[in-house]
Structure 1
Amino acid sequence: MDDKIELRMWDTEEKQFMSHSRVLESRVSDIEKNGQERFIFQQYTGLNDKDGRKIYAGDIVKHEDFSIGCTIDLNITGVVKMVDGSWCVERGDNGDYLFTETGTNEVIGSIFENPELLEV
């Protein structure tokens, strides 16, 4: 895991993400004058998915976890969130830690660009 804090920002008017470098280039006064509701910050978890893509809070992740010798497999498609100091994948009442030794993750979208992925 990476110990640097990295952010991306969702622009609710432009309907697109601003990269970490663009967030750093933005002046706080520009963000403030445009209104706090316009921009939503999302933190990088420090983890990458199975294809090397960075995982951010608010990403929709297909999480597959299994334990050798255990009959219970946990497969969940949900939203990445910080819960009690740990990054988790949640969907309704179900969830799992984002990082597990036997699990894999695949980013399949974000809550802003692909909310339909969470529909039942």
Structure 2
Amino acid sequence: MDARYVFAVRFRLEPETEGVSVGPDEFETRLYRAADPPGEDGWLFFRNNLWRGEINDDRHFRRLAEEELGVTVVSAEYRALETDEEYLTALKDEIRDDLATFKADSVSEVLNKYLGSSLEVEKG
């Protein structure tokens, strides 16, 4: 079972040593965050950080990314949840067991509400 969140992150290098500079000082890269197994601590990352396929609190997310990366994050955009079929099935089962948590009537509604159309399933 395997899944990860993918973000486009733009960051800035800010040398702390006087007389040292970089050029360019901004770069864009992909940030990959492992998706916690459904039902385990942290599995609600999508609910807590995404809305309709977008980051729901840009400042908060950039702050989290800065802590993880150790650089100033200028911008971040959600790209996708990349998953295999086994993880997606487990995720759907966990959501189905507690639809009230998501204030939704169906698993599809939950997935759309938080991930939008940014869900990529690896065919096994």
TM range (shorter): under 0.3
> Whose strand fraction is larger, Structure 1's or Structure 2's?
1
**Higher normalized contact order (CA 8 Å, seq sep 6+, divided by chain length):** 2
Larger helix fraction of residues = 2
Structure with larger Rg: 2
Q: TM-score, normalised by structure 1?
A: 0.22
